[in-house]
Chain A
Amino acid sequence: MRILPSRPKVNMDPVYEPFFTALANGEFQLLRCAECGEWYWPVAYCRNHNNLPFLGNMQWERASGKGSVFTYNVQHIAFDSAFKGQLPLVYALVELDEGPLFASNVVDCPPDDVSVGMAVEVEIAQVNSHEDYFLPVFHPAQPA
């Protein structure tokens, strides 16, 4: 498994816990509506119809992890010193094949070769091998 250098924790609502548990178990999941099948990230009530209380009709489900770069930037300075040894860093918004936009890093690709529309796929990484902290990052998709 890829090990990422230490970095700040995400600070998410407890409702995201199943997402992180799944990541730790090697699975990239998104929230999906049991009624109509629409996929969501970040967490949301389904827009297509009325909902059960507290996301009752939504469930976490394995997603393909495939998508394309919607937009991105290349960080050349570390605003937070935690990123000093990790530059340049490609921060991208990935449009997942299931629909949602997902922000993450693009890895294994020189920043100059990243482009809008580039096909990418997810990879689960562990932050600092001593920590129980996993994040999804994206690498260029293998040619079919």
Chain B
Amino acid sequence: MDVDTHLRDASMIDPKTFSGAFAIAGMGMVVGPNDGYVPGQSRLMLEAEAVRRAIEDAGLHREDIDGAIHVHGGPRSGDGALEQADTYTRILGLPVNFYYRGGRGGGEGTFGITLAATFLSLGAANYVVISNSKTNWSRSQSRKRAGHRGQQAEVTPEGRWGYAFGETSAVGAHSFFATRHMARYGTTSEQLGSIAVQARQWANLNPLARMYEKPMSMDDYLNSPVYVWPYHLNDMCVSSDGAIAIVLTTTERARDLAKSPVLVLGVGFGDATGELWWEKTNYERLAVSTAKRTAFGMAGITIEDVNVAQFYDCFTGEVLMQLEDYGFCGKGEGGEYALEGNLGPGGKLPTLTSGGLLSAYHMADMTGISESVLQLREEAGPRQLNEPSISLVTGHGGEAAPSGMCSVHTTLLLGRE
């Protein structure tokens, strides 16, 4: 597979030079009660602590950090930028040259990595922290006290058409994907359920996962209430309080630090605006094709080289479609592929090895990035895979325009030396 010609023509540097030039040197997580998490923390304080842990993990000191990027999902997810008047760069005493906030949809970390790589290649910084934070679980609890359900109903950004028709939650629109896929390809609830069940099996091996001590059988899944048909409760991801941070630097610098570098082998981006609004081919697939081609072309590898997949799994349907859209199985065969047990522990394509957004913690694609770091550094404990060398992380999301759906897709390939 090669980089698409027009992309190569457009790029000023050879994408293959980018591949492997930058590395994640450290990672910090604050994601659960077994993780030193103190309930009631603000997003700012959660994020500051995750950043502190990432710097320490890299073997760096606060004075080494000269750039910071906060990433977020934007208003669609009810999860805007960290907009406190204060900054964690001040709280932690980081002498940065820049601190920016940005993002859209769930490809948060991949966007941050791409931006940080640019700063690093311009010589504007040597060590950049990239971080996100959420308090969606706490927010859902306060919504509940007000008589509502879920985390999303708090905000109605301008242009939110669907709210008046009952689309007051993420699942209220995302289940459109599953319905359309079921109608077109005969996908079943049991097939979707097998994705949730296998993610849960991984979560049962991850002490930080929300569902660590909560096994789930197929019967449990099928008997769980249908919240928004065709989705059962357990087709839906968890919402979390937490923060994850990484330190990005050049691979050359990372080699001198405490942990083995986790290399950025490829990044790619896709957007389904056209598919949504005029081609009308969305709801059966995600905007994978350009993102995949760019990232895999950059890395000079194919899906055959992928040892572990951290697909964006806000709902089971997104996983199903990515299995097909990346080519791990044929179009329309994702349900069968999942039901065969290929995703869980011992499966052909270990997928969502942390438990994912479905069963572990929802920190957007920072969940998949953190899990890739642990797997590639062989620090994943009971769920550690046998010497994985390539991890695929994806992102998905974006605001919902009037009747629209998440259009963002990101591909990130991480590896080791």
Contact = CB atoms under 8 A, between A and B. Distances in A.
Q: Do A and B come from one complex?
A: yes
A111 B226 CA distance: 13
Contacts of A104: 165
A143 interface: no
Contacts of B226: 74, 76
Contacts of A103: 161-162, 165, 167, 402-403
B402 A42 contact: yes
Nearest to A82: B168
B157 interface: yes
Interface string B159-175: 11111111111001101
B229 interface: yes
A100 to B, nearest CB: 8
Contacts of A70: 180, 280, 283
A68 to B, nearest CB: 12
A73 B229 contact: yes
Given A10-B163, A72-B179, A135-B164, A93 B403 contact: yes
A60 interface: no
A81 B146 CA distance: 9
Contacts of A101: 276-277, 280, 403
A33 interface: no
A78 B225 CA distance: 13
Contacts of B177: 71
Interface string B214-242: 00000000000111111100000000000
B382 interface: no
A115 B277 CA distance: 21
A48 to B, nearest CB: 10
A118 B368 CA distance: 39
B179 A80 contact: no
A12 B168 contact: no
A105 B165 contact: yes
A12 B180 contact: no
A7 B165 CA distance: 8
Listed residue (B165, B168, B231) with the most chain A CB atoms within 10 angstroms of its CB: B165
B165 A116 contact: no
A9 interface: yes
A41 B280 CA distance: 13
B61 interface: no
B142 interface: no
A78 B149 contact: yes
A83 B166 contact: yes
Interface string A75-107: 111111101001011010101000001111100
A42 B401 contact: yes
A141 to B, nearest CB: 18
Interface of A: 7-13, 41-42, 44, 47, 70-81, 83, 86, 88-89, 91, 93, 95, 101-105, 111, 115-117, 127, 135
24 contacts: A8-B156, A10-B160, A10-B161, A10-B402, A12-B402, A13-B159, A41-B402, A42-B161, A42-B401, A71-B177, A71-B180, A72-B176, A73-B175, A73-B176, A74-B228, A77-B149, A77-B228, A78-B149, A88-B229, A91-B165, A91-B166, A101-B276, A105-B165, A135-B165
Closest 3 CB pairs of A and B: A103-B403, A116-B183, A79-B169
Given A78-B149, A79-B168, 15 more contacts: A8-B164, A12-B161, A70-B180, A71-B180, A72-B179, A73-B172, A73-B175, A75-B172, A80-B148, A83-B168, A89-B165, A91-B167, A103-B167, A104-B165, A116-B183
